[in-house]
Chain A
Amino acid sequence: MNSLIVTLVGMFVVFCALLLIILCIVIYSRLIRIKAQKPNNHEYSSVKQNNNVQKPASENNALPADSISPELLAVITAAVSACMQSTNTGYTVRSIKRIGHTTPIWNVAGRNEYILSKL
């Protein structure tokens, strides 16, 4: 068989196969995300309603759901202080925000490798 024909057919088939995979991934990913969003919207509205109902409870000095306890605040501040190897109070912790564990593992690996290379 002509080698040029083999090359053209080969590349065409490889591209077609992978394009078809792309199409399938896009379709099923979208369907899954749409399905996942629907119950979230529902949950959000029910939470909203519950918040309205439970408003008096937060007035009784109870901690809001997204806040952290004073003990945890102290531990984090101490950790920051230890990490900076300084006991003077030249800085103030103004806010602490929880970051979800969404960082992909390859990013973490790459970042660690870069940090280690600079040590």
Chain B
Amino acid sequence: MWYDFTNAIKALAAESGFANITLLHLIMIVLALFFLYLAIAKKYEPLLLVPIAFGMLLANLPLGGLMHPELWDAQPLDYGAILHNGGLLDLLYLGVKLGIYPPLIFLGIGAMTDFGPLIANPKSLLLGAAAQFGIFGTYIGAMAFGAFTPQQAGSIAIIGGADGPTAIWLTSKLAPELLGPIALAAYSYMALVPVIQPPIMKALTTKKEREVIMKQLRPVSKLEKILFPIVVCVLVILIIPSSAPLVGMLMLGNLFRESGVVERLNDTAQNALINIVTIFLGLTVGSTASADKLSQPGFGIQALLIIGLGLVAFCIGTASGVLFGKLMYIFSGGKINPLIGSAGVSAVPMAARVSQKVGQEANPQNFLLMHAMGPNVAGVIGSAVAAGVLLSMLG
């Protein structure tokens, strides 16, 4: 009797997670707890970092059976096996793999975004374009390291767009094996915008330039706002068809908002839908950062390089935006404050708030927020276009 009892306990213990946990699992669990700390205590992008970190924690508790990385490593991918044998996170991960979640997040972003400042000052689109140099500049840098394939380099470079959903969308298409570290780097740097950008902005501008007070923007009519998503959608998709999922959904969300006739859909897109998709996206992206990945040779160095190159991309994007802003300052005869250029990296509305803050430090009478929102939302369109270009050329 006693013998059977101890045998049963031993068998249970051998099947428990404690018996199967490895050092790599423990490292990943500590990392997940660290990200939870950053999200909860430091409030770094908590809406995304909490589900990402928790997904990471769940995927690294052995024998949980929620995520099976081996099913996703199979070549060619066997969707039947995933549906039959996959755990909860495997099934949710299908939304990332098939590129469903990021466009749905863009639908919500479109419904939340006011493109009025951009329509009032269309020139600010140029700043949104200039800031994309961070993406392409880093692509050269990543290729120069020789540690990445062109597809991986493109996925790392897109971190410079400072747009989480775009980074996830492109990485899931080009280099899904790097999804975990790229998503984490992208969202971490977005949260660190107020820390990373101001020193670059101040280093590249003079006090006189930072003090420039810009002219009040003209009011934009409702018809102009309604036409904008339709025009942009048609134009951009005709030029770069591969950007259709992101740009199409972004503009549909914006049409919901501006048309004023589908208030319920608008409300769902910018609240319930985006929140649900954010939970799924965060959980599944976090679950890709499993201990099995860490045990792959060279993955740790790759992850460190991704974090470093992501920061470089972000800094180049900010710098090129500010430098282009300086160019516009010169050509406009000192009417444009170059600080709004840094908002050209997406990160809406954080980057615009940073422009406002740095501008107000130089001149308390200065209100740059509205002017910076133009390049800021232009950056969203710009990074979606850049992602489409990279997918067309490298996919």
Contact = CB atoms under 8 A, between A and B. Distances in A.
B204 interface: no
Given A21-B236, A107-B367, A7 B132 contact: no
A26 B231 CA distance: 12
Q: Output the residue of A3, A15, A32, A102 with the most chain B CB within 10 A.
A: A3
A7 B136 contact: yes
B143 A3 contact: yes
Contact of B114 (A11, A105, A111): A105
A76 interface: no
Interface of A: 1, 3-4, 6-7, 9-11, 13-22, 24-26, 28-29, 32-33, 36, 102, 104-107, 109-111, 114
Contacts of A3: 139-140, 143-144, 150, 153
Interface of B: 114, 116-119, 122-123, 125-126, 128-129, 132-133, 135-137, 139-140, 143-144, 150, 153-154, 216-217, 219-221, 223-224, 227-228, 231-232, 235-236, 239-240, 352, 356, 360, 364, 367-370, 373, 378, 381-382, 385-386, 389-390, 393-394
A2 to B, nearest CB: 9
Given A18-B125, A28-B227, A29-B119, A11 B370 contact: no
**Chain B binding site: helix, strand, loop or mixed by DSSP?**
helix
A28 B119 CA distance: 10
B371 to A, nearest CB: 9
A114 B356 CA distance: 10
A28 B135 CA distance: 31
Nearest to A117: B360
A109 B220 CA distance: 18
A104 B231 contact: no
A47 B240 CA distance: 50
Given A1-B150, A32-B224, A106-B369, A10 B122 contact: no
A86 B367 CA distance: 31
The 8 closest A-B pairs by CB, nearest first: A110-B369, A7-B136, A3-B143, A106-B370, A25-B122, A22-B122, A18-B129, A18-B125
A108 to B, nearest CB: 9
Contacts of B352: 106
A94 B132 CA distance: 53
Given A24-B235, A25-B228, A104-B117, 7 more contacts: A6-B154, A13-B385, A19-B129, A32-B221, A104-B217, A106-B114, A107-B370
Contacts of B224: 25, 28-29, 32
A12 to B, nearest CB: 9
Nearest to B128: A18
B390 A7 contact: no
Contacts of A15: 126, 129
A6 to B, nearest CB: 6
A11 B231 contact: no
A11 B144 CA distance: 19
Contacts of A105: 114
A1 B231 contact: no
Contact of B393 (A6, A11, A19, A20): A6
Given A3-B150, A9-B393, A18-B129, A24 B367 contact: no
A17 B236 contact: yes
B153 to A, nearest CB: 7
A49 to B, nearest CB: 27
A13 B153 CA distance: 19
A28 B144 CA distance: 44
Q: Output the residue of B125, B150, B382 with the most chain A CB within 10 A.
A: B125
Contacts of A13: 239-240, 385, 389
Contacts of B122: 21-22, 25-26, 29
Contact of A18 (B126, B370, B393): B126
26 contacts: A3-B153, A7-B139, A11-B129, A11-B136, A13-B389, A16-B239, A17-B240, A18-B126, A18-B385, A21-B236, A22-B125, A22-B126, A25-B118, A25-B119, A25-B228, A28-B227, A29-B119, A29-B122, A36-B221, A104-B117, A106-B117, A106-B352, A106-B369, A106-B370, A106-B373, A114-B364
